[in-house]
């Protein structure tokens, strides 16, 4: 997939995802607050453009929505300092980290990796990108997720336990970040089930509104 941002095009390289980055979400799932970012990854085949249909996978029974602020890396780098992190951002948008909750719970109980609950095809619907500028308040991005017109999740990046610059710094200390990398930055509380025929919408006054239907 090629992502358009203004006059530039970006080819996503990797999708980094952050778990347990909002305290209220940790609480609703009954987990413990992490001392460092919880990182997992998805292949780019997971991306779904706005307006396209999300295909519900057949290997689970409890698909959950998780609305997130998403960062597009424009300038790569290794060991990026926190104060310099924002200069590596090209764009921002909203996305969904779709999760098969029943499959994830089963994998956790067995002590097995849980990629099959998170990294299946169509598990990362992605909104249209907005060009990032230094005037954009990375620590104050409001957003919400609605299903069939009813608001399910309301969040703000101000509630992140690990800020966007923190995440860029942390990830670049392990991987050399590359142009086109995407970072899903974590979800607030309010996650819940999706069914065939549902219409899910993400909205932010700063980033726009994006919708998908499920089949």
Q: Residue 31: is its pLDDT beyond 80?
A: no
State the pLDDT at residue 85.
98
pLDDT tens per residue, range 102-126: 999 999 999 999 999 999 999 999 9
Q: What is the mean pLDDT of residues 161-185?
A: 98
Class in CATH terms, 3-214: alpha beta
Which helix (H) or strand (E) element contains residue 151? strand 150-156
pLDDT-based confidence at residue 32 (cuts at 50, 70, 90): confident
117-150 pLDDT, tens digit each: 999 999 999 999 999 999 999 999 999 999 999 9
Cβ within 8 Å of residue 1, ≥6 positions away: 11, 12, 44, 47, 49
pLDDT at 26: 85
The answer for residues whose C-beta is within 8 angstroms of residue 109's C-beta and 6 or more apart is none
Do 46 and 15 form a contact (C-beta atoms < 8 A)? yes
Mean local confidence (pLDDT), 88-114: 95
For the chain, what are the domain ranges?
3-214
pTM above 0.85, yes or no: yes
């Amino acid at each position: 997939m090629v992502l358009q941002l203004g006059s530039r095009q970006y080819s996503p390289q990797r999708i980094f995802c952050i778990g347990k980055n909002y305290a209220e979400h940790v609480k609703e799932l009954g987990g413990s607050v992490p001392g460092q970012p919880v990182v997992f990854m998805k292949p780019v085949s997971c991306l779904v453009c706005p307006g396209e249909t999300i295909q519900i996978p057949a290997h689970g029974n409890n698909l959950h929505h998780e609305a997130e602020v998403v960062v597009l890396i424009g300038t790569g780098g290794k060991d990026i300092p926190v104060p310099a992190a924002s200069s590596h951002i090209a764009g921002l948008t909203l996305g969904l980290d779709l999760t098969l909750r029943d499959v994830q719970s089963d994998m956790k109980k067995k002590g097995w990796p849980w990629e099959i609950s998170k990294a299946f095809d169509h598990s990362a619907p992605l909104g249209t990108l907005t060009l990032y500028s230094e005037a954009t308040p990375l620590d104050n991005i409001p957003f919400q997720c609605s299903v069939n017109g009813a608001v399910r999740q309301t969040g703000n990046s101000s509630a992140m336990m690990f800020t966007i610059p923190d995440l860029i710094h942390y990830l670049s200390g392990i991987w050399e970040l590359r142009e086109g990398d995407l970072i899903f930055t974590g979800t607030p509380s309010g996650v819940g089930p999706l069914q065939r025929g549902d219409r899910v919408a993400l909205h932010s006054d700063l980033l726009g509104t994006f919708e998908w239907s499920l089949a």
